[in-house]
A = this chain, B = another copy of it.
Protein backbone atom coordinates (compact mmCIF):
# COMPACT_ATOMS: atom_id res chain seq x y z
CA UNK A 1 0.00 0.00 0.00
CA UNK A 2 1.32 3.40 -0.97
CA UNK A 3 1.95 5.98 1.69
CA UNK A 4 -0.62 8.79 2.07
CA UNK A 5 0.30 12.29 3.14
CA UNK A 6 -2.31 14.41 4.90
CA UNK A 7 -2.59 18.15 4.41
CA UNK A 8 -5.23 19.75 6.62
CA UNK A 9 -7.14 22.98 6.01
CA UNK A 10 -5.03 24.64 8.67
CA UNK A 11 -1.87 23.68 6.81
CA UNK A 12 -2.94 24.67 3.28
CA UNK A 13 -4.39 27.95 4.54
CA UNK A 14 -0.89 28.85 5.68
CA UNK A 15 0.71 28.04 2.30
CA UNK A 16 2.21 30.93 0.33
CA UNK A 17 -0.51 32.34 -1.99
CA UNK A 18 0.74 31.07 -5.38
CA UNK A 19 1.72 27.69 -3.90
CA UNK A 20 -1.76 27.36 -2.40
CA UNK A 21 -3.41 28.36 -5.70
CA UNK A 22 -1.45 25.65 -7.56
CA UNK A 23 -2.29 23.09 -4.89
CA UNK A 24 -6.03 23.79 -4.54
CA UNK A 25 -6.49 24.21 -8.30
CA UNK A 26 -5.07 20.70 -8.79
CA UNK A 27 -7.52 19.03 -6.41
CA UNK A 28 -10.64 18.94 -8.58
CA UNK A 29 -8.88 16.76 -11.19
CA UNK A 30 -8.65 17.00 -14.96
CA UNK A 31 -10.66 19.84 -16.43
CA UNK A 32 -12.02 20.79 -19.80
CA UNK A 33 -10.05 23.65 -21.38
CA UNK A 34 -12.07 26.05 -23.48
CA UNK A 35 -11.86 29.42 -25.13
CA UNK A 36 -14.83 31.71 -24.56
CA UNK A 37 -15.40 34.17 -27.39
CA UNK A 38 -17.39 37.35 -26.82
CA UNK A 39 -17.98 40.74 -28.39
CA UNK A 40 -18.97 44.05 -26.80
CA UNK A 41 -21.83 46.20 -28.04
CA UNK A 42 -19.15 48.40 -29.65
CA UNK A 43 -17.80 45.44 -31.60
CA UNK A 44 -14.63 44.81 -29.55
CA UNK A 45 -13.95 41.08 -29.54
CA UNK A 46 -12.46 39.11 -26.67
CA UNK A 47 -11.37 35.53 -26.15
CA UNK A 48 -10.35 33.95 -22.81
CA UNK A 49 -9.27 30.51 -21.70
CA UNK A 50 -11.36 28.95 -18.92
CA UNK A 51 -11.13 25.58 -17.20
CA UNK A 52 -14.43 25.75 -15.35
CA UNK A 53 -17.00 24.73 -17.99
CA UNK A 54 -19.19 21.87 -16.87
CA UNK A 55 -22.16 19.87 -18.11
CA UNK A 56 -25.32 21.01 -16.38
CA UNK A 57 -27.97 19.01 -18.20
CA UNK A 58 -28.95 17.45 -21.52
CA UNK A 59 -32.58 18.55 -21.64
CA UNK A 60 -32.56 21.52 -21.86
CA UNK A 61 -28.95 21.50 -23.07
CA UNK A 62 -27.13 23.60 -20.46
CA UNK A 63 -23.48 24.38 -19.78
CA UNK A 64 -22.27 26.19 -16.68
CA UNK A 65 -18.99 28.00 -16.10
CA UNK A 66 -17.37 30.14 -13.44
CA UNK A 67 -15.99 33.61 -14.12
CA UNK A 68 -13.54 35.22 -11.70
CA UNK A 69 -14.01 38.97 -11.98
CA UNK A 70 -10.51 39.80 -10.75
CA UNK A 71 -8.66 38.11 -13.59
CA UNK A 72 -8.62 38.36 -17.36
CA UNK A 73 -12.09 36.92 -18.13
CA UNK A 74 -13.70 39.99 -16.55
CA UNK A 75 -14.08 41.41 -20.07
CA UNK A 76 -15.86 38.19 -20.92
CA UNK A 77 -18.34 38.77 -18.11
CA UNK A 78 -18.98 42.38 -19.19
CA UNK A 79 -19.57 41.30 -22.79
CA UNK A 80 -21.88 38.41 -21.85
CA UNK A 81 -23.96 40.76 -19.71
CA UNK A 82 -24.14 43.28 -22.58
CA UNK A 83 -24.94 40.95 -25.43
CA UNK A 84 -26.39 37.82 -23.78
CA UNK A 85 -24.25 35.52 -25.93
CA UNK A 86 -20.83 33.87 -26.15
CA UNK A 87 -19.09 31.01 -27.91
CA UNK A 88 -17.37 28.01 -26.29
CA UNK A 89 -14.48 26.55 -28.29
CA UNK A 90 -12.50 23.41 -27.48
CA UNK A 91 -8.72 23.56 -27.62
CA UNK A 92 -6.64 21.05 -29.53
CA UNK A 93 -2.98 20.21 -29.12
CA UNK A 94 -1.84 22.35 -32.07
CA UNK A 95 -2.83 25.70 -30.54
CA UNK A 96 -2.54 25.13 -26.79
CA UNK A 97 0.25 27.75 -26.35
CA UNK A 98 -1.83 30.43 -28.07
CA UNK A 99 -4.90 29.45 -26.05
CA UNK A 100 -2.93 29.66 -22.77
CA UNK A 101 -1.63 33.11 -23.76
CA UNK A 102 -5.21 34.50 -23.66
CA UNK A 103 -4.92 34.39 -19.86
CA UNK A 104 -2.48 37.33 -19.90
CA UNK A 105 -3.96 40.60 -18.65
CA UNK A 106 -4.65 42.40 -21.90
CA UNK A 107 -6.47 45.71 -21.69
CA UNK A 108 -10.12 46.18 -22.58
CA UNK A 109 -9.29 47.69 -25.99
CA UNK A 110 -7.06 44.78 -27.04
CA UNK A 111 -8.46 41.68 -28.68
CA UNK A 112 -6.79 38.44 -27.65
CA UNK A 113 -7.62 37.15 -31.13
CA UNK A 114 -5.01 39.54 -32.50
CA UNK A 115 -2.58 39.51 -29.56
CA UNK A 116 -2.53 35.69 -29.34
CA UNK A 117 -2.73 35.01 -33.08
CA UNK A 118 -5.99 33.10 -32.98
CA UNK A 119 -8.25 33.41 -36.03
CA UNK A 120 -11.75 34.78 -35.51
CA UNK A 121 -14.56 33.08 -37.34
CA UNK A 122 -18.26 33.93 -37.65
CA UNK A 123 -20.73 31.13 -38.17
CA UNK A 124 -24.23 31.67 -39.51
CA UNK A 125 -25.65 34.89 -38.11
CA UNK A 126 -24.29 34.42 -34.56
CA UNK A 127 -22.79 37.73 -33.40
CA UNK A 128 -20.06 36.39 -31.06
CA UNK A 129 -16.74 35.24 -32.53
CA UNK A 130 -15.68 31.59 -32.75
CA UNK A 131 -12.10 30.33 -32.74
CA UNK A 132 -11.40 29.09 -36.25
CA UNK A 133 -8.77 26.52 -35.18
CA UNK A 134 -11.17 24.83 -32.76
CA UNK A 135 -12.45 21.36 -33.78
CA UNK A 136 -15.63 21.63 -31.67
CA UNK A 137 -17.46 24.86 -30.87
CA UNK A 138 -20.81 26.01 -29.61
CA UNK A 139 -23.02 29.07 -29.75
CA UNK A 140 -24.25 29.77 -26.21
CA UNK A 141 -27.06 31.97 -24.97
CA UNK A 142 -26.94 33.50 -21.49
CA UNK A 143 -29.66 32.12 -19.20
CA UNK A 144 -28.80 33.27 -15.70
CA UNK A 145 -25.99 34.44 -13.44
CA UNK A 146 -25.58 33.05 -9.92
CA UNK A 147 -23.35 35.07 -7.60
CA UNK A 148 -21.07 32.88 -5.47
CA UNK A 149 -20.89 35.09 -2.39
CA UNK A 150 -18.31 32.83 -0.74
CA UNK A 151 -15.57 34.17 -3.03
CA UNK A 152 -17.05 36.84 -5.30
CA UNK A 153 -17.08 34.68 -8.44
CA UNK A 154 -19.98 34.36 -10.85
CA UNK A 155 -21.53 31.18 -12.13
CA UNK A 156 -23.03 31.57 -15.58
CA UNK A 157 -25.73 29.21 -16.80
CA UNK A 158 -25.91 29.09 -20.59
CA UNK A 159 -28.01 27.28 -23.13
CA UNK A 160 -26.51 25.53 -26.15
CA UNK A 161 -28.03 27.03 -29.31
CA UNK A 162 -25.92 25.35 -31.96
CA UNK A 163 -22.91 23.04 -32.25
CA UNK A 164 -20.23 22.84 -34.93
CA UNK A 165 -17.96 19.85 -34.93
CA UNK A 166 -15.33 18.39 -37.20
CA UNK A 167 -16.57 15.67 -39.54
CA UNK A 168 -15.77 12.25 -38.07
CA UNK A 169 -16.01 13.21 -34.39
CA UNK A 170 -19.68 12.23 -34.03
CA UNK A 171 -20.06 8.51 -33.41
CA UNK A 172 -22.98 6.27 -34.34
CA UNK A 173 -24.63 6.41 -30.91
CA UNK A 174 -24.32 10.17 -30.31
CA UNK A 175 -20.98 10.11 -28.44
CA UNK A 176 -18.46 12.72 -29.62
CA UNK A 177 -14.88 11.48 -29.93
CA UNK A 178 -12.86 14.43 -28.61
CA UNK A 179 -9.64 12.43 -28.64
CA UNK A 180 -9.78 11.96 -32.42
CA UNK A 181 -9.13 15.70 -32.81
CA UNK A 182 -6.52 15.85 -30.01
CA UNK A 183 -8.75 17.96 -27.78
CA UNK A 184 -6.70 18.62 -24.64
CA UNK A 185 -7.52 18.85 -20.97
CA UNK A 186 -5.88 20.80 -18.16
CA UNK A 187 -4.91 20.12 -14.57
CA UNK A 188 -4.00 22.70 -11.99
CA UNK A 189 -3.35 26.17 -13.38
CA UNK A 190 -1.03 25.39 -16.25
CA UNK A 191 -0.60 21.67 -17.04
CA UNK A 192 -1.97 20.53 -20.40
CA UNK A 193 -2.63 16.93 -21.39
CA UNK A 194 -3.74 14.83 -24.31
CA UNK A 195 -5.72 11.69 -23.53
CA UNK A 196 -5.60 7.96 -24.31
CA UNK A 197 -8.90 6.11 -24.26
CA UNK A 198 -9.17 3.14 -21.95
CA UNK A 199 -12.56 2.47 -23.50
CA UNK A 200 -16.25 3.00 -23.02
CA UNK A 201 -18.08 1.02 -20.35
CA UNK A 202 -21.56 -0.45 -20.73
CA UNK A 203 -24.51 1.13 -18.89
CA UNK A 204 -24.26 -0.05 -15.28
CA UNK A 205 -26.90 -2.52 -14.07
CA UNK A 206 -27.12 -3.85 -10.53
CA UNK A 207 -27.18 -7.50 -11.64
CA UNK A 208 -24.05 -7.60 -13.82
CA UNK A 209 -20.53 -6.22 -14.13
CA UNK A 210 -19.88 -3.55 -16.73
CA UNK A 211 -18.10 -4.57 -19.91
CA UNK A 212 -15.90 -2.55 -22.24
CA UNK A 213 -17.78 -1.64 -25.41
CA UNK A 214 -16.21 -2.46 -28.74
Contacts and interface: CB of A to CB of B under 8 A. Distances in A.
A8 interface: yes
A23 B100 CA distance: 27
Interface string A190-209: 11111111111111111001
A22 to B, nearest CB: 4
Interface stretch (A39-47, A75-83, A90-98): A90-98
A30 B32 contact: yes
Contacts of A26: 174-176, 178
Interface string A133-173: 00110100001101010110101010111111111001001
Interface residues of A, number: 112
A142 to B, nearest CB: 12
A61 to B, nearest CB: 5
Contacts of A173: 18-19, 22
A24 interface: yes
Contacts of A22: 173-175
Contacts of A188: 175-176, 200
Interface of A: 2-9, 12, 15, 17-34, 51-64, 66, 68, 90, 93, 96-97, 100-106, 115, 123-124, 135-136, 138, 143-144, 146, 148, 150-151, 153, 155, 157, 159-167, 170, 173-176, 178-179, 183-185, 187-206, 209-210, 213
Given A101-B209, A185-B195, 20 more contacts: A4-B167, A9-B61, A21-B174, A22-B175, A27-B136, A30-B32, A30-B178, A30-B195, A59-B151, A62-B151, A100-B210, A102-B204, A103-B204, A105-B206, A175-B190, A176-B187, A190-B200, A191-B197, A192-B200, A193-B198
